[in-house]
C-alpha cells in the first residue's frame, strides 16, 4: 500500500462513490466523528499501564494494522473519497434537474452511435451540444430517414425521464443510463439533419472501420456464425439470438463475448508475430500500442476493453523503456481514469466482473497452482501441467467473481470448469485467426475467405460448448446475497489464502511470523477450553434452528408486473403463497424477467402454493421454474399457464 499511492487513491475514490450512491449521511461529518473518537480514546488511554499479554487485545491488533495503513495512506483515502463523494452528489443533482418529465424539447445534437433497431422505432444516442457532457437516447420513427454516425441534427420531441426501481431489488433504468452518461430519452416528433460528419476524424474513421469489418463478416459467414464472431472480436452481441446468449451465460462462457485481457493478450501475440521480423521488437511494441488504442475506438470504449488495453499498453510501454510494470498500479491507473470520467461506471456489471476476475487471478492463481502442481519435477506431462494452469486461472477468477455473479444473475453454472477448459483450447486460434480475418476483410475481402473454414470449425465448437447449458442441473438458482455476506465472503477467502501462503512457504517475513504465532496461540487456547467453545457453537446452532419455528408476522408483498396483478404472501409459519403472476400479450417474459428476480431478491427459492384468481392473460401468462416444497416438480412449466 505504501509503495502504491495510486492503488490507495482508487480505493478511496471507490469508497466515496459508493458512499454517495447508497448513504444519506454526510461523509465529511462521518470522518470528523471518527477522528474525534480516535483522539478522545488516544487521550484517555495514553496513561494506561501496560498489562500482560492478552489474546484479544484491540490495541495490539491496531498496531499490526499500522504496519500496513499509516497516516499518509489514511490521508490519501480521505481526500480521494471526499472528492468522489462530492462529485457523485453533484452529478446526481445534475441528472435529476436536467429536464422535466414530459417537457417538450428543442435541441441540437450530434449522433454518436449506430442505429439500434427496436420493434416500433429506431434508437440513437446523441451528444447534446448545449448541455455539456450529457447524452440522450432519441426514439425516431422507422418511417423517418435513417441517421448516420456523426450527423448533426435539430429535433423536437417529448422528454421521458428514466424510470426508477419499481420493485425491491429490481431494475433501475436511471442508474443504468448514468453508467452510459445518458440523461434520458426523447420521443422525436420532428427531426432535421443539418450537417454531416461533425465528430473528429479519428472517431469517424473508427466507425467506418467498424462498419466495414461487420459488413465483411456478414458477407463471408452465415448469420449465426457472423453474429458470434462479431461478439468475440468486437464485443457486439446485438445480432446474437437471445437463446444463444442465454446458453453462453448458463455455460459460463459469456465472458468471451466481452473484450477482456484474454482477447488483448492474443491480439498482442498476433501483432508481435506479424511485426517483429519486419521492424524489430521495439518498434513492433510501439506500433502495437497504437493499434490497441485504435482498437478501443473501434470497439466502443467498454470498461473491460479499456482496462485490458491500458494494462496491455503499460506492459508494452514498460518493455520498450526496459522497465517492469506493476500489475496493481496498472489496474489502479485504468480504473481511476474510468471512474474520474464517469463515477457511475462502478455500477457497470462488465467493469465489476473484469476487474474482480483480474484481481482473483493475481491473488489466488499461485496458491491454486501449489495445490494442483506436484513438487516433483520427474514424470511431468507438459499437457497435463498446462491443463492445470488453465484450471487455476479459471478457478481463481471464479472464486473472486462468484458473489457478484450471484448478486446480478442469481444462478450458479455447475459445469463452468469443464466449459472454460474446453474454451481455453479453442479461443486462442479463433481470436488470432479472427483478428487476421478482420484485417483482411477490411483490405481485400476475397483473401479473408481463406480463413472461413478453420474459423467456422472453431465457432461451431464454441456453439457446441454452449450446449452444456441444456444438461441436467446446468443452472442452479440462488437467492440474492446482501453486501454484508459478500464482504464477509471476500474477507474469508482473502484470509484463507494468506494463511495458506504462510503455512506453505518455506521463508517467512516478520509479519507472517507474527500471524503464524497468533494462529498457533488461538489453537492452544481453543484446546484449553474446547468444551466451552463447542458448547457455545451448539447453543448458537440451537438458537438459529429454533428461530425458524418462531411465529412471524404475516407479510404481504404487491409485485409490480406492469399490466396485471401479482401478490406474494408469507405466512407466520413461513409458508409462501403466490397469487397470480402477471402477464402480457407481447414477447416480454414477465415471469422470467420480473417475477423470478423479485422472488430471488426477497430470498425465496421455493414456493409452497400458486393460486390463480381468474384466467385472464394479464394474471396467468407468466413462466416460473421454482420447485414447490409439497411436490418435487415444477409448479409452472416453461410454457405460459
**How far apart are the C-alpha atoms of 275 and 264, rounded to whole Å?**
16
Predicted pLDDT of residue 110? 93
Q: In the numeric block, which cell numbers belong to residue 95?
A: 441528472
| In a shared domain, residues 386 and 403 | yes
Query: DSSP assignment, residue 372?
Result: H
Residue 67 lies in a domain: yes
Strands 152-160 and 182-195: antiparallel
Question: What is the predicted pLDDT for the residue at 424?
Answer: 83
Long-range contacts of 533-539 (CB under 8 A, 24+ apart): none
Residues 64 and 125 in one domain: no
Residue 639: is its pLDDT beyond 60?
no
For the cut 50, the answer to whether the pLDDT of residue 634 exceeds it is: no
Write down the pLDDT at residue 369.
85
Tell me the pLDDT band of 394, cut-offs 50, 70 and 90: confident
Q: What are phi and psi of 156, to 5 degrees?
A: -130, 135
Answer yes or no: is 257 within a domain. no
Most confident of 436-445, 508-517, 528-537: 528-537
Q: Can you tell me which residue has the cell 474469508?
A: 492
At 377, is the pLDDT very low, low, confident or very high (cuts 50, 70, 90)? very low
- Tell me the C-alpha distance between 262 and 280, whole Å: 24
Is 289 within the bounds of a domain?
Answer: no
Residue 18 DSSP SS3: helix
Of 125, 17, 99, 42, the closest CA to residue 346 belongs to 17
Helical spans, DSSP H, in 410-509: 416-443, 445-448, 452-466, 483-504
Confidence label for 343 from pLDDT (cuts 50, 70 and 90): very high
CA angle 345, 350, 351 (to 5 degrees): 45
pLDDT at residue number 490: 94
Same domain, 176 and 126: yes
User: How is residue 240 annotated by DSSP?
Assistant: S
Statement to judge: residues 62 and 150 lie in one domain: no
Does one domain contain both 157 and 124? yes
DSSP 627: B
- Please state which of the ranges 147-151, 336-340, 541-545, 557-561 shows the lowest mean pLDDT: 541-545
Mean pLDDT calculated for residue range 566-573: 89
Residue 130 within a domain: yes
Residues 410, 494: one domain?
no
Determine contact, residues 576/602, Cβ cutoff 8 Å.
no
Distances (CA, A) of 336 to 163, 175, 180, 346: 29, 20, 17, 11
Cα–Cα distance measured from residue 19 to residue 88, given in angstroms and rounded to the nearest whole number: 9
Q: Which residues pair with 182 in a beta bridge?
A: 135
pLDDT at residue 17 is higher than 60: yes
Cell of 522: 488461538
Q: Residue 68: its pLDDT value, please?
A: 62
Are residues 514 and 587 part of one domain?
A: no
- Domain boundary (388, 414, 440) is at 414
Asked if 77 and 108 sit in the same domain, the reply is: no
Distances (CA, A) of 641 to 525, 560, 608, 623, 632: 61, 19, 17, 7, 19
Would you place residue 139 in the very low, low, confident or very high pLDDT band (cuts 50, 70, 90)?
very high
The helix/strand/coil state of 555 is strand
281's grid cell: 521488437
- pLDDT higher than 90, residue 5: no
Q: How far apart are CA 130 and CA 108, in angstroms?
A: 7
Domain boundary pick from 96, 121, 143: 96
| Number of domains making up the chain | 5
- Calculate mean pLDDT across residues 2-18: 88
Give the mean model confidence (pLDDT) for residues 63-72. 67
Question: 110 with 142, same domain?
Answer: yes
Domain boundary among 182, 199, 216: 199
Q: Is residue 464 in a domain? A: no
Considering the domain architecture, whether residues 514 and 555 belong to the same structural domain is answered as no
Please indicate, yes or no, if residue 451 is contained in any of the structural domains.
no
pLDDT recorded at residue 425: 84
Q: What is the pLDDT of residues 378-390, one digit of tens each?
A: 455 667 777 788 8
Domain coverage including residue 631: 546-641
Question: Which residues are within 8 A (CB) of 25 and not within 5 positions of it... i.e. 6 or more apart?
Answer: none
85 band by pLDDT with thresholds 50, 70 and 90? very high
Average pLDDT estimate for 154-179: 90
Res. 513 pLDDT band, cuts 50 70 90: confident
Tell me if 219 is assigned to some domain. Answer: no
pLDDT of 376 higher than 60: no
Place of cell 444473475: 409
DSSP 3-state of 136: strand
159-168, 290-299, 521-530, range with greatest mean pLDDT: 159-168
- 347-363: average pLDDT: 89
C-alpha cell at 595: 417475477
Mean pLDDT, the chain, rounded, equals: 83
Are 30 and 59 found together in one domain?
yes
* 31 and 65 part of one domain: yes
State yes or no: pLDDT of 552 exceeds 90. Answer: no
pLDDT, position 241: 86
The confidence score (pLDDT) of residue 20 equals 92
- The partner residues of 121 in beta bridges, in order of sequence, read 141
Q: Is residue 436 part of a domain?
A: no
d(CA 597, CA 479): 9
Q: Where residue 131 sits, what CATH number does that domain have?
A: 2.40.50
| Site of grid cell 462488465 | 350
> What digits encode the pLDDT tens for the residues 447-497?
888 888 889 999 999 989 988 888 888 888 889 998 899 999 999 999 899
Predicted confidence (pLDDT) per residue in 293-338, tens digit: 888 888 877 777 887 888 888 888 877 777 777 888 888 988 998 8
Amino acid at each position: 500500500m505504501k509503495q502504491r499511492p495510486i492503488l490507495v487513491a482508487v480505493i478511496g475514490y471507490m469508497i466515496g462513490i459508493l458512499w454517495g450512491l447508497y448513504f444519506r449521511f454526510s461523509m465529511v461529518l462521518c470522518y470528523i466523528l471518527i477522528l474525534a473518537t480516535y483522539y478522545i480514546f488516544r487521550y484517555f488511554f495514553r496513561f494506561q499501564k501496560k498489562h500482560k499479554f492478552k489474546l484479544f487485545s484491540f490495541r495490539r491488533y491496531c498496531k499490526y494494522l499500522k504496519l500496513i495503513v499509516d497516516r499518509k495512506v489514511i490521508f490519501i483515502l480521505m481526500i480521494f473519497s471526499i472528492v468522489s463523494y462530492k462529485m457523485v452528489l453533484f452529478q446526481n443533482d445534475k441528472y435529476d434537474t436536467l429536464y422535466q418529465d414530459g417537457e417538450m424539447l428543442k435541441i441540437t445534437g450530434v449522433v454518436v452511435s449506430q442505429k439500434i433497431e427496436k420493434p416500433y422505432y429506431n434508437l440513437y444516442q446523441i451528444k447534446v451540444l448545449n448541455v455539456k457532457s450529457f447524452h440522450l437516447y432519441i426514439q425516431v420513427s422507422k418511417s423517418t430517414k435513417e441517421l448516420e454516425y456523426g450527423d448533426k441534427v435539430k429535433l423536437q420531441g417529448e422528454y421521458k425521464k428514466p424510470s426508477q426501481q419499481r420493485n425491491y431489488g429490481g431494475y433501475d433504468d436511471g442508474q443504468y443510463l448514468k453508467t452510459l452518461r445518458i440523461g434520458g430519452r426523447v420521443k422525436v416528433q420532428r427531426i432535421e439533419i443539418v450537417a454531416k460528419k461533425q465528430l473528429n476524424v479519428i472517431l469517424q474513421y473508427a466507425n467506418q472501420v467498424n462498419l466495414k469489418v461487420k459488413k465483411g463478416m456478414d458477407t463471408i459467414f452465415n448469420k449465426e456464425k457472423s453474429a458470434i464472431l462479431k461478439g468475440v472480436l468486437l464485443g457486439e452481441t446485438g445480432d446474437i439470438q437471445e437463446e444463444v446468449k442465454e446458453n453462453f451465460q448458463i455455460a459460463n462462457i459469456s465472458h468471451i463475448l466481452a473484450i477482456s485481457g484474454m482477447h488483448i493478450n492474443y491480439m498482442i501475440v498476433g501483432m508481435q508475430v506479424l511485426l517483429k521480423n519486419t521492424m524489430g521488437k521495439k518498434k513492433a511494441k510501439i506500433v502495437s500500442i497504437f493499434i490497441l488504442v485504435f482498437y478501443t475506438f473501434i470497439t466502443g470504449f467498454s470498461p473491460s476493453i479499456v482496462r485490458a488495453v491500458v494494462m496491455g499498453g503499460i506492459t508494452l510501454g514498460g518493455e520498450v523503456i526496459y522497465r517492469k510494470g506493476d500489475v496493481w498500479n496498472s489496474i489502479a491507473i485504468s480504473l481511476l481514469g474510468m471512474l474520474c470520467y464517469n463515477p457511475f461506471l462502478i455500477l457497470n456489471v462488465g467493469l465489476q466482473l473484469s476487474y474482480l476476475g483480474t484481481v482473483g487471478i493475481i491473488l489466488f492463481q499461485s496458491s491454486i497452482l501449489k495445490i494442483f502442481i506436484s513438487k516433483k519435477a520427474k514424470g511431468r506431462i507438459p499437457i497435463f501441467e498446462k491443463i492445470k494452469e488453465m484450471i487455476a486461472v479459471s478457478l481463481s477468477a471464479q472464486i473472486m467473481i462468484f458473489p457478484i455473479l450471484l448478486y446480478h444473475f442469481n444462478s450458479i453454472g455447475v459445469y463452468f470448469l469443464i466449459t472454460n477448459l474446453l474454451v481455453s483450447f479453442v479461443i486462442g486460434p479463433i481470436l488470432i485467426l479472427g483478428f487476421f480475418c478482420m484485417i483482411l476483410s477490411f483490405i481485400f475481402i476475397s483473401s479473408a475467405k481463406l480463413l472461413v473454414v478453420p474459423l467456422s470449425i472453431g465457432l461451431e465448437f464454441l456453439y457446441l460448448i454452449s450446449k452444456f447449458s441444456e444438461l441436467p442441473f446446468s443452472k442452479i438458482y440462488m437467492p440474492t446475497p446482501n453486501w454484508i455476506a459478500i464482504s464477509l465472503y471476500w474477507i474469508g477467502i482473502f484470509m484463507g489464502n494468506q494463511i495458506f501462503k504462510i503455512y506453505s512457504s518455506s521463508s517467512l517475513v516478520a509479519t507472517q511470523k507474527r500471524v503464524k504465532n497468533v494462529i498457533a496461540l488461538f489453537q492452544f487456547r481453543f484446546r484449553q477450553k474446547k468444551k466451552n467453545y463447542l458448547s457455545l457453537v451448539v447453543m448458537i446452532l440451537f438458537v438459529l434452528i429454533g428461530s425458524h419455528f418462531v411465529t412471524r408476522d404475516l407479510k404481504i408483498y404487491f409485485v409490480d408486473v406492469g399490466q396485471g396483478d401479482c401478490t406474494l404472501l408469507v405466512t407466520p409459519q413461513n409458508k409462501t403463497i403466490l397469487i397470480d403472476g402477471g402477464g402480457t400479450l407481447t414477447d416480454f417474459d414477465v415471469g422470467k424477467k420480473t417475477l423470478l428476480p423479485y422472488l430471488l431478491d426477497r430470498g425465496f427459492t421455493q414456493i409452497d402454493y400458486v393460486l390463480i384468481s381468474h384466467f385472464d392473460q394479464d394474471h396467468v401468462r407468466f413462466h416460473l421454474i421454482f420447485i414447490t416444497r409439497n411436490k418435487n416438480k415444477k409448479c409452472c412449466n416453461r410454457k405460459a399457464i
